[in-house]
Chain A
């Protein structure tokens, strides 16, 4: 299945080379033995890392004793109920909502955007924010882009806002910023996380320099890694190496995309449009500076200031009782895994999700379920 081409872009496929992968997993085992204790737990905070790990079946070849935990890296999953409620209320008011596909079925307090759509609201799935602006150009009606995603995706929203979108276009921002939540996880009592694998594409924007203060403060190493299998394996090898040598620092294992300073042009646009604000992440309570909201200069494209959004009506509908058993918050914090959840794979399945982790393509539960629910193959019958 690997195209054998002389094209340098095919060099990307060298990042799936089986002998190198075997060598790297061997190195993981050797380092773990040298560290001399088990389990050693490391955390990644990116849905795309979990997807790559699951898709390529890497958990089946990680050495026993290495726990690679997914933290709050699914932007859809951490979008809180009140934020979904705002979109649902707007949709119910006759405003056209455009959003990324994953957000459609995320449960709010009482219902999802898909439920609203079934009740007659106009909800459009787009694969790019630019497409949402295009939609606004084709109609006189109000179009609101329900903006979810971390900083890598927020820069695209910023770019579209700066491109002078049509007058009937506005943004309901539920964008999130990852570095603050790493602090929260590092400070959680009882956390066993000894190192972080940082998301390569977010770091393409922010640069790896922003992790230096985090490392100084918490004395936990951070390795920036890409998304090809070899990128992830090499990132983990480097992380174990740094854990072993006891000199916590930031290491960049994705130099083809990540530099110390990052993409200045994208950062300028991001901070020109957005400001960080404290807010709730679903299941993780308050994250200082974890939410991205539109600055006052952009009030005219801020759906929250353009429309009156009253979500209290939704709270009259009692939340579904199954939600009480949902442990998405713990799963996102890396304290529990999907198989710890009583509902996983039974009442909570992709067709009938109870929690956000089962809805999003980057949600831990959805990813595990998609790939058969037995990531390390130990319990396959």
Chain B
């Protein structure tokens, strides 16, 4: 019988990549505490935000890096290339940095990887860069032997400048929570492809760069945006839990207001997986001061990527660190998903 050890066991397991508690513990215990911390004038590793922010005169240089191991690499709505670019552009945007200065892209290929597939991925990267107004300025290429790597791994790093950093820890009591569109799309699209599920329906990933949408929201908010995060691994539940914990506020989420596509909801009911726990790659969660909520919502809805934006919750001073779900017929705690729901989702 397995014994219960500390959160970081002797060996890394799949849960450490799931984006939740176990992963954060791994980062904290092995990396954050392990690296000698030179004081960072800004937001550094210990904040575990979407990126880092370094003061540069009266501006902030925002830096973020991501590795992409999604499987399968091509899926309805996108592919690993689009995911790599959008993921990094969005991490920058979540910090308030919507004008991407530059991206890097490193690729590790398995021997035997198809040239045609590589070109398809490269085209996706190029198209998504264009959409985001970003450029890849440098990269790296490695090849590993057959069987030493599964197909392809991408790493992207992005840098951008911003006058104001929006952390994920800035929520205040009274803030309204806005989600920019339907949730669970990306994760269920990937799940539908995995063998043996017999799911046939229009499940497609929402992967997309959001910097233009966020730009509009920031302009409309005019300083009233308290916090921002993109709900990737672990879904909306994880993002809100993290934001509530880091900000020291409680949060009431109205389940009935959260937009979910009917087909995603159906997949969730059939498989017993809650869409609130499932990854998104083209959505953002915003915490907005109450007086600005309606105008930020209007600005989002005026944008093609924000048509289904909704105000879905409110921050409170009580129950600090907890997210309470109002189901319409009752209330319960909304906790992060247990363990690894969907491996290699991004």
B-contacting residues of A (Cβ < 8 Å)? 1-3, 5, 16-18, 21, 54-61, 107, 110-111, 115, 127, 131, 229-230, 233, 320, 322-323, 347-352, 354, 361, 369-375, 377, 380-381
Contacts and interface: CB of A to CB of B under 8 A. Distances in A.
A152 to B, nearest CB: 16
Contact of A229 (B259, B326, B330): B330
A1 B329 contact: no
Contacts of B328: 16, 18, 21
Given A57-B330, A60-B330, A115-B1, 13 more contacts: A2-B256, A17-B329, A57-B327, A57-B329, A57-B332, A229-B327, A229-B329, A229-B330, A354-B1, A370-B335, A372-B335, A375-B332, A381-B321
Interface of B: 1-4, 15, 22, 196, 255-260, 262, 265, 272, 274, 319-322, 324-335, 338-339
Contacts of B321: 381
A168 B193 CA distance: 29
B329 A377 contact: no
Nearest to B271: A127
Contacts of B335: 370-372
Contact of B324 (A17, A351, A369, A377): A377
B332 A55 contact: yes
B4 A352 contact: yes
Nearest to A320: B1
Contacts of A115: 1-2
A348 B326 CA distance: 28
B4 A347 contact: yes
A21 B2 contact: no
A interface majority secondary structure: loop
A322 B3 CA distance: 9
A72 to B, nearest CB: 21
Contacts of B320: 381
B319 A380 contact: yes
Given A107-B1, A351-B338, A352-B2, A380 B324 contact: yes
B255 A1 contact: yes
B interface majority secondary structure: loop
Given A56-B327, A320-B1, A3 B262 contact: yes
Nearest to B255: A1
A273 B319 CA distance: 53
Contacts of B322: 372, 380-381
Contacts of B327: 55-57, 229
A103 to B, nearest CB: 15
Given A1-B255, A1-B265, A55-B327, A351 B15 contact: yes
Contacts of A61: 329-331
Given A1-B255, A2-B256, A370-B338, A377 B331 contact: yes
A346 to B, nearest CB: 8
B259 A56 contact: no
Given A57-B325, A111-B1, A350-B339, A371 B332 contact: yes
Contact of A351 (B262, B274, B319, B339): B339
B341 to A, nearest CB: 12
Find the residue from B1, B196, B257, B339 having the highest chain A CB count within 10 A.
Answer: B1
Contacts of B3: 320, 352
Contacts of A54: 332
Contacts of A375: 332
A18 to B, nearest CB: 4
Contacts of A349: 4
